[in-house]
Every structure is written in structure tokens, then in C-alpha cells.
A and B are shown apart, each in its own frame.
Chain A
Amino acid sequence: MKKLLLISLLLTGCATSVPVKMSFPQAPEPLLEPAKDLTPLDPSKRKLSDLLDNANTNYTEYHELQQKHNAWIEWYNTQRKIFEGVK
């Protein structure tokens, strides 16, 4: 019993705790902006040029969002690759 206690006591010398933390990566600012709503056509504007103008505004919004979406995919893949390199 005494030997068991002694061995148990001596083995606790091997116990240790290692606090190493890696902070969560921050995404670039433009990607954190919320998406805007599309702009509806003003019912008082009845000309085809007004429609084209409105469509142009909305398509611009779509293209911006498309770039941001692609950037999110790239961000995720890059950060994942970096994170896996730490192990």
C-alpha cells in the first residue's frame, strides 16, 4: 500500500497542462458588410431608359455581391489551409 501511494505520488510529477490558443481569423472588412436590397423601379418612371437604368443599378449590386461571395469562398479555403498547417 505504501509503495502504491509512493508510486502514485511520483507519477503525478508527469502531469502537466499546456494552454496554447489560436485566435479565430478575422475576415476582411468588405466581406462583413451586409448585402443591400435591390432597388425597385419608381412606378412614375415609365420609360424604357428608366427600366434600363434601374436594371443597370441592380446588376451592379449583383456583380458586387458575386465578387464578395467568391471572396468568401477564397477566404475560407485559404484560412483552412493555413489552420491545417499549424497541426
Chain B
Amino acid sequence: MWMLSFIPDSWIQLAVHIIFGLGVAGLILTWLIQNIFNHFTALLPWIKTIRWVSIVLFIGGLYFEGGIGVESEWRARVAQLEAKIKVAEQQSKEANDKLKNQINSKVKIIKINSASNKESIAQNKEVIDAECSLNDKAIGIYNNAIKNGAQ
């Protein structure tokens, strides 16, 4: 049945209806000739062949009639799901763009504030350094905290 997915719906439906219709028509025709119009003796030698061909067409047609119903239903579901996925992918992209802009603007503000602090430290350097200087121990402990055990 998966092979049917490569052929347009309308073509498949038409072909299946024709096959099934020919099968039914052939069976009715052979029954009528044998039982009612049995004076058409010219067709009698062909009756067996026509009936077998009709049976094959009928069974084949019936098989595809069943298949096409399921196929159409699945195609409708696939189309619906594909449409939903397309919308979801678009929404996902838009959400990502929004989030990216949000992060960039927040990081920009953080950097501005950081630069402002840096400038403030530079401006007040003399006052800050007037009363305190660091020894090796203090620097060691501070760096240990930064490295968190890593060398």
C-alpha cells in the first residue's frame, strides 16, 4: 500500500473504481448470458475466460477499494500532522529568535554595568587602596575559591 503514496489520490481512486466496476460488470454479464440470454451461443465458449478475468478484477478491485479507504484516511492524517509540524517549527524558530534577542540584550546590560563598576574602581583606586593591601594567604584563599579545587 505504501507504493500508492507516490500516485495522486484522484488517479488511484479512478483506477480502483474502474477495476472493481469491470469485475462486477463481468460477473453480472457472465451470469446473465448463462442464465437469461443463453441464446447468445457465440459468446458461450468465452464465458469461462470472461468469468475468470472478472473474478480476478473483482478480487483485485475489492482489495484496492479496502486499501484506498485506509490510504485516504492516513493521507488526511499525515497532511494534518505535517501542517501542525510546519506551524510548530515556525513557532519554535520565532521563540528561539525572541530568546536570542532577550539573552543578547540582558548580556549587554550586564556588560554595561560591569564596565561602570570597573570605571568606578579605577576612579576610586587611591581611596580603596589607602587602607588595605592583600597578603599571599588572602590571595591564595581567594583564588582557591575561584578555582574551586581545580589547579
Q: Which residues of A contact B (CB under 8 A)?
A: 6, 9-18, 20, 22-23, 25-31, 37-41, 43, 46-53, 56-60, 63-64, 67-68, 71, 74-75, 78-79, 82-83, 85-86
Residues of B within 8 A of A (CB): 1-2, 59, 62-67, 70-71, 74, 77-78, 81-82, 84-85, 88-89, 91-92, 95-97, 99-100, 102-104, 106-107, 110-111, 113-114, 117-118, 121-122, 124-125, 128-129, 131-136, 139, 142-143, 146-147, 150
Cα-based distance from A78 to B106 in the complex (angstroms): 19
Whether the Cβ atoms of A53 and B92 lie closer than 8 Å is: no
Among A10, A17, A29, the one with the most B-chain Cβ atoms within 10 Å of its Cβ is: A10
Q: Are B107 and A30 in contact (CB under 8 A)?
A: yes
Least CB distance from B111 to A in Å reads: 7
CB contact between A10 and one of B59, B103, B136, B139 (< 8 Å): that residue: B59
Contacts of B77 in A (CB 8 A): 18
**How far does the alpha carbon of A49 sit from the alpha carbon of B43 in the complex, in Å?**
113
The reply to whether B63 and A67 form a contact with Cβ atoms under 8 Å apart is no
A75 nearest in chain B by CB position: B99
In the bound complex, how far is the Cα of B81 from the Cα of A74, in angstroms? 25
25 contacts between A and B (CB under 8 A): A10-B66, A12-B1, A13-B66, A14-B70, A15-B67, A16-B1, A22-B88, A25-B92, A27-B96, A28-B103, A30-B103, A41-B139, A46-B133, A48-B128, A48-B131, A49-B121, A49-B124, A51-B134, A53-B121, A56-B121, A60-B113, A67-B103, A75-B99, A78-B99, A79-B95
For the complex, give the distance between the alpha carbons of A57 and B117 in Å. 10
**Cα distance A46–B142 in the bound complex, in angstroms:** 12
List of A residues within 8 angstroms of B114 by Cβ: 56-57, 59-60, 63
